[in-house]
């Protein structure tokens, strides 16, 4: 069975999507539509902008979403997934690709998500850190024992877990994790504590927008971040998406479940190759690849 995977924040690069724009009329139309929906020329930043400009949350998230969803659209009949999943932001790309969300609705939600997250970051200084070389259970226990808000946020692959929370609590947890034998506990250059309780204001804002958006029956199951399970019921997909900003991204568990359910070929759709790298660490025996024109 063919599984398509959609990347999240951090996969952006200058020039992303330009090949699609230049080689496909359909892609050009969708990019131009995106400029109108967003109210600014995101194509100019994607194709010519600096790394600094692309790092702005209000740009990064729509840019990655557009690269992924437009590539899937341009592939046309060659794009026939049996199952889809997306890492954090990538879940919205996956929901457009499997026909749960219309392209314009998906982009509007991504834009609202980015702005809501930015606001939440500005309300309370917070951060994230990557922890390498420790069992998940050890990381979870140390987070629980650390005073302040710090939680396991991204289960990326065995031995790589990202923690998220208040700056002081994350720093304290990093010290304890290093003492416990972590190969590295490294602060990440992010604007805030994504997938932690500190994103509650953003979750509430995005939940209202999700509630007001039409979700159709999907063409194939989506494996969602919050429960790492196949979902086909539109109301359940909505509910899980509303929880996503404050819940951990169970990526390792998601991929393992997809393999259990018959996934044999995993194809990354969008910028970068982060998910292919994680796939090799989760299960080397499955076939991985990159979607290309």
The residues assigned a catalytic role are 88, 195
- Alpha helices (H) along 55-187: 57-75, 90-97, 103-123, 136-145, 167-179
Whether 206 contacts 116, CB under 8 Å: yes
Residue 12 and residue 64 in contact, taking contact as beta carbons nearer than 8 Å: yes
76 DSSP 8-state letter: G
As given in the structure block, the two tokens for residue 124 are 């309370």
| Element at 6 (helix H, strand E) | strand 2-6
Nearest to 180, CA basis, from 231, 141, 226, 124: 141
Work out the number of other CB atoms within 10 angstroms of the CB of residue 230: 16
């Amino acid at each position: 069975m063919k599984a398509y995977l959609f990347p999240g924040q951090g996969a952006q690069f200058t020039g992303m999507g330009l090949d699609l724009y230049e080689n496909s009329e359909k892609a050009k139309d969708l990019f131009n539509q995106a400029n109108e929906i967003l109210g600014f020329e995101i194509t100019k930043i994607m194709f010519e902008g600096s790394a600094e400009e692309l790092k702005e949350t209000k740009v990064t998230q729509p840019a990655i979403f557009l690269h992924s969803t437009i590539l899937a659209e341009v592939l046309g009949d060659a794009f026939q997934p049996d199952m889809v999943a997306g890492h954090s932001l990538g879940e919205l790309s996956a929901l457009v690709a499997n026909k749960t969300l219309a392209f314009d609705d998906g982009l509007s939600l991504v834009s609202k998500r980015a702005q809501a997250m930015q606001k939440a970051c500005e309300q309370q200084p917070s951060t994230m850190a990557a922890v390498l070389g420790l069992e998940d259970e050890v990381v979870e226990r140390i987070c629980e024992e650390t005073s302040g808000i710090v939680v396991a946020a991204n289960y990326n692959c065995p031995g790589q877990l990202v923690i998220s929370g208040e700056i002081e609590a994350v720093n304290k947890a990093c010290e304890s994790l290093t003492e416990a034998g972590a190969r590295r506990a490294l602060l990440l250059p992010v604007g805030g504590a994504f997938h932690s309780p500190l994103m509650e204001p953003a979750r509430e804002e995005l939940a209202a927008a999700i509630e007001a958006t039409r979700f159709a029956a999907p063409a194939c199951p989506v494996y969602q971040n919050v429960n790492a399970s196949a979902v086909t019921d539109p109301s359940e997909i909505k509910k899980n998406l509303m929880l996503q900003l404050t819940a951990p991204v169970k990526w390792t568990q998601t991929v393992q479940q997809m393999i259990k359910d018959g996934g044999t070929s995993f194809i990354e759709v969008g910028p970068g190759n982060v998910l292919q790298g994680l796939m090799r660490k989760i299960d080397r025996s499955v076939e991985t690849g990159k979607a290309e024109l």
